Structure 1
Amino acid sequence: MNIKTSKELGDWKLFTLINNQNMEVSILNFGGIITRIIVPDKHGKLENVVIGYRDIKDYQSNSNYFGALIGRVAGRIANSTFNLNDATYTLAANEGAHHLHGGKNGFHQVVWKAEPFETDDTVGLTLTHTSQDKEDGYPGKLDMTVTYTLNNNNQLTVDYQAIATENTVFTMTNHSYFNLSGNLKSMVHQHHVTIPSNHVVELNEQLIPTGKKMNVLNTPFDFRTGRYLMEGFKSNHPQNKVARNGYDHYFIFDQTKKAEVIVQEEASGRRLTINTNQPGMVMYTSNMLDEGLPLNEGSSKRYLGVCFETQASPASLEHDGFPSILLEKHQPYTKQTIFTFDTI
């Protein structure tokens, strides 16, 4: 196992974690961005399974959030305001009237302090950052640590830890776009996904939660026994139409079952299993991905990747009964998501 480091752009550094199976995970200290994940297919061929820019400089804007850490709040905050402890906080609007993924200066734009590490059976990278009180409008100073750990079982673990000086709102995620075909050989229509979720959060035309939970039964949102993503792309269901012919929805995990998402791509034989202690996940199928961007293996296009954004729900700021994003002062935030790669 080893770690390679290279200086890429100014104070940006790229760290590549390599295990004994030749799996590689490349991470920038800028935005905590995962730029590549190299894993074998069923024939042992090593290929990249995430979307990344060809030119490292293109991550400076990264309006699609390729591979980035997202925060302070992943997702959309309606009208860029929220109430907490009888006070109203106003955030920067960066998607119409709304606040998306921590705003224009969110964690995806931060140069994190990075420390690589190695143990007998893991290699990893620890990222730390302090977000100041009222930064981007959020209350409380927030100290954060994100740790990426790769082991010899082809598991990439992402640990999120934080502590705030005031009551605040907070839910982080990673925004990698996965494509298990390898080197972007095909789009994600034939990705077969299983999600233990009975309800999704209904969205309005601006992709803001309506406050309703939609039962997935007899809809293209029922992934409990697995289905192909293309079913949602071709669907006439109003919620698929709202998401521009695909998925951009928060799936609330069934708390009576293990929070385990399984993604398979038959042609390559690759399988991705996602385990988390988060209460749910946004699945986004790149329905609104900018086209023609120069990527490591070609140009961007709709449906080229699928994001699995494990997190709590910003809908809880306006509506009761949704997984809360409240973080009380001095209470540790400890969340974990594990991405395991193998073959069918």
Structure 2
Amino acid sequence: MTEARITKDVFGTLPDGREVERVTLRGDGGFEVRIITYGAALQALLVPDAQGRVDDVVLGHDDLLSYLKLRRFFGATVGRYANRIAKARFELDGQEVRLDANNGAHALHGGPDGFDRKLWQIVATEDGAQPSVTMLYVSPDGEANYPGRLDVRVTYQLIGPMELSVTFSARTTRTTVVNLTNHSFFNLDGLAAGTDTLDHRLTLAADHYLAIDETAIPLAGPPHSVAGTPFDFREAHPVGARIRADDAQIRCGRGYDHNFCLREGSGVRFAARLASPRSGRVMELHTDQPGLQIYSGNYIDATVSGKGRVYRQSDAICLEPQVWPDSPNRPDFPSARLTPDSVYKHETVYRFSIAGASV
């Protein structure tokens, strides 16, 4: 009898008595993906290294209470609008939409109670060579002051031996804005190693990035060229090689916390490559989105722990495919507008492989 590639268990119970489920998808060689219905979050991602040792490569928690106590977006599905909207407001068809600010004067990752804080519903699972789970959340019209009821689905599917596809779709009853992403924090050394990610080598398919002000809102004007700056990852560089450069933009982000403008193209295409010389693990990210937010874990400050360790600055790096930040206020940016006669779609593929380890 063939062993099931997908299983389900109870991860915990919310204060109101509702159960949070966990779905496990199994690939080859110990590759394993665990998703919880709280926040439709990637709770664990087990990947073998060059020696065949399997370890978890994403920050998170082993218990539900820790997710509830402190909001850090570990592995979460972020929405209704990922990243920042300046001054928590925008105009839509001549009408002002005012949001709830939760990042100084700005709205961040859907506001104080975004999709990462919601209990999603499992609506489909599939076993077999490419196991998958689909989760649904229905955001009411006016939730967080966003117009339109939004029906959102996210599907996690193993499409190769060590290849994870994350696909989002959404429909609205009124014209609105939508920008969804997965907010996983990656450390390809594996969490058991206890190391940071500053030696991880990063390559980006981006010739430009968005410069920001001191509150992380994109500056007026066109994107900035990466040439001659610490933001040039067109060829592989260690994440930490220039993270303390005397550069105004590095100071604004306290490291990297910037949107990189991906090269134009159709469909799912190469966006980034992250490689650990220590473990030999390599992750390629392919997406159909126009931007990739790179966050080097600058504000992880040892106030939170999980999976048996305290999390500190640069212990992980986020690669968040999305529409550019503050697009609802920037007609010169890619649009986040969604109308009732259209469907929001977003697909990202995480492709893992093994290279030789140096230690």
Relative distance call for 1:119 and 1:254 in structure 2 (3 A) is: same
**Selected match of 2:212 from 203, 207, 218:** 203
Relative distance call for 1:98 and 1:299 in structure 2 (3 A) is: same
State the one-letter code of the partner of 2:26. Answer: I
Q: Distance in 1 between matches of 2:185 and 2:118?
A: 20
Q: Distance in 2 between matches of 1:279 and 1:297?
A: 36
State the one-letter code of the partner of 2:30. Answer: N
RMSD: 1.5
Query: Secondary structure of 1:211's partner?
Result: coil
Relative distance call for 1:13 and 1:281 in structure 2 (3 A) is: same
Query: Secondary structure of 1:89's partner?
Result: strand
Partner of 2:105: 97
Q: Give a deviation string over 1:70-124, Cα, whole Å, max 9, x none.
A: 0000001111101000000111111111111001111001100014522431111
Q: How does 1:59-74 map to 2 (within 5 A)?
A: 59-74=67-82
Do residues 189 (structure 1) and 198 (structure 2) align? Answer: yes
**Selected match of 2:226 from 203, 216, 227:** 216
Q: How does 1:22-101 map to 2 (within 5 A)?
A: 22-101=30-109
Q: Distance in 2 between matches of 1:14 and 1:63?
A: 19
TM-score, normalised on structure 1?
0.96
Shift of residue 52, structure 1, vs aligned partner:
1.1
Shift of residue 256, structure 1, vs aligned partner:
5.5
Q: Distance in 2 between matches of 1:275 and 1:134?
A: 33
Aligned length: 343
Query: Secondary structure of 1:240's partner?
Result: helix
Relative distance call for 1:7 and 1:120 in structure 2 (3 A) is: closer
Q: Give a deviation string over 1:124-144, Cα, whole Å, max 9, x none.
A: 110011111111100111111
Stretch moving more, 119-128 or 75-84:
119-128
State the one-letter code of the partner of 1:194. Answer: T
Alpha-carbon contact 1:41-1:269 (below 8 Å) kept: yes
Stretch moving more, 115-124 or 87-96:
115-124
Do residues 297 (structure 1) and 305 (structure 2) align? Answer: no
**Selected match of 1:227 from 220, 237, 261:** 237
Q: Distance in 1 between matches of 2:124 and 2:282?
A: 27
TM-score, normalised on structure 2?
0.92
Q: Distance in 1 between matches of 2:200 and 2:294?
A: 13
Shift of residue 322, structure 1, vs aligned partner:
1.5
Where in structure 2 are there 5+ consecutive unaligned residues? 14-18
Shift of residue 28, structure 1, vs aligned partner:
0.7
Shift of residue 233, structure 1, vs aligned partner:
2.1
Query: Secondary structure of 2:274's partner?
Result: strand
Alpha-carbon contact 1:253-1:259 (below 8 Å) kept: no
Query: Secondary structure of 2:242's partner?
Result: helix
Partner of 2:339: 328
Q: Distance in 2 between matches of 1:64 and 1:123?
A: 28
Shift of residue 184, structure 1, vs aligned partner:
4.9
Stretch moving more, 266-275 or 248-257:
248-257
Query: Secondary structure of 2:191's partner?
Result: coil
Where in structure 1 are there 5+ consecutive unaligned residues? none
Q: Give a deviation string over 1:158-210, Cα, whole Å, max 9, x none.
A: 01011111111101000000000012521000110110111111100011111
State the one-letter code of the partner of 1:326. Answer: R
Stretch moving more, 90-99 or 315-324:
315-324
Stretch moving more, 22-31 or 251-260:
251-260
Do residues 271 (structure 1) and 282 (structure 2) align? Answer: yes
